[in-house]
Amino acid sequence: MGQTSGSSLGGRLKSFGHAFSGIRTLIMSQPNARIHAAATVTVMAGAFLLGLSRLEWCVIILTVAAVWTSEALNTALEYLADAASPEFHPLIKKAKDVAAGGVLLAALGSVIVGLLVFGPRLLFLLKK
CATH number at residue 100: 1.10.287.3610
d(CA 38, CA 64) in angstroms, rounded, equals 12
Pick the catalytic residue from 56, 71, 78, 87. Answer: 71
- For CA atoms 70, 82, 79, 34, the dihedral sign is negative
DSSP track, 50-86: TT--HHHHHHHHHHHHHHHHHHHHHHHHHHHHHHH-S
What number of CA atoms fall less than 13 Å from residue 121's CA on the CB side? 14
Q: What is the pLDDT of residues 78-88, one digit of tens each?
A: 999 999 999 99
- Asked whether residue 49 carries a pLDDT value surpassing 60, the answer given is yes
What is the number of domains present in the chain?
1
pLDDT band at 7 (very low <50, low <70, confident <90, very high): confident
Residue 8, domain member (yes or no): no
For residue 118, is it within any domain? yes
2, pLDDT greater than 50: no
Q: pLDDT category, 111, cuts 50, 70, 90?
A: very high
Whether residue 6 is contained in a domain is answered as no
Let me know if 87 is a catalytic residue.
Answer: no
Per the domain annotation, does 79 fall within a domain? Answer: yes
Average pLDDT taken over every residue of the chain: 94
Q: Which domain holds residue 62?
A: 33-127
Residue 24 lies in a domain: no
Residue 54 lies in a domain: yes
